A and B are shown apart, each in its own frame.
Chain A
Amino acid sequence: MKLTFSNDTIVLDKDLNALDRFVLKFTAILEQRQIRFVLISGYVVILFGRNRTSEDVDMFVEHLDFKQFKDLWNTLTDEFECINTPNVDDAYTEYITKGISLRFSKKGTFIPNIEFKFPKVELDSWTLAERKPLLLNGKQLFISPLELQISYKLYLGSEKDIEDAKYLYDVTKEHLDVELLNEFNTKLKTTKLFRKYFL
């Protein structure tokens, strides 16, 4: 794998899969509207080559007021539909502002879908603030800091999550901020797991 870390941007050129193309279509709309977002969780691991797929792609999106949300909704729904509800008022008042994720898929499909959520806790807001730019075949994406992804996957703790963390660590370890990774492992109480499986 050829990964370039240049001026804080990760550059990755690869043969795009269906999930990548789906994500790029959705995020292009956010980019076009200058809405801040960050991709998190399983898709980040898949992006770096882990040989698995996912029905959903998780992302945090900056908090939007109703007008901003409605404007975005009107653009998104040219190509995508919301699985939770077809009604923009409900989507805003009954779901997203109550902390329930919205799921957007391409019209007429159910999978894959984007799990769209506003940050709920300080850690979520930090992830959005400290997002890392990634150029995928020249297209702009933003991903969670890898050090947090690795620790957080360990924190989640299922076999799949630990495998994801292990893979992400192994494929990017030369570029990681070890101090930051250790700090997250301490805060998330994942140091033991990290030592057990990674060192």
Chain B
Amino acid sequence: MKTPNIDLKELKKLKEENFRERLLFLEKYAQWVKKTSNENWSKQQRDLIE
């Protein structure tokens, strides 16, 4: 099987971009939790964890 070329510099940049996107998501999620009733956000969390 032919494997792809891997540019580690490019990959490092991508990793950093993904991390920033993830932080943005967490920011949005935290805002959503703050404005959502405990009943609602905790139900979603429970459904996911159980």
Interface residues of A (CB under 8 A from B): 18-19, 53, 55-56, 83, 99-101, 103, 109-112, 120-123, 125-126, 130, 155-156, 177, 180, 183-184, 187-189
Contacts and interface: CB of A to CB of B under 8 A. Distances in A.
A121 B48 contact: no
Given A18-B48, A99-B17, A123-B11, A83 B28 contact: yes
Nearest to B50: A18
A183 B4 CA distance: 10
Interface residues of B, number: 26
B32 to A, nearest CB: 5
Interface of B: 1, 3-8, 10-11, 14-15, 17, 21, 25, 28-29, 32-33, 36, 41, 44-45, 47-50
Contact of B3 (A110, A111, A155, A183): A183
B11 to A, nearest CB: 7
A55 B5 contact: no
Nearest to A145: B1
B4 to A, nearest CB: 4
- Closest 9 A/B residue pairs (Cβ): A126-B4, A122-B4, A187-B6, A110-B32, A123-B4, A18-B47, A109-B44, A183-B3, A111-B44
Contacts of A19: 48
A103 B25 contact: yes
Contacts of B25: 56, 83, 103
A67 B29 CA distance: 30
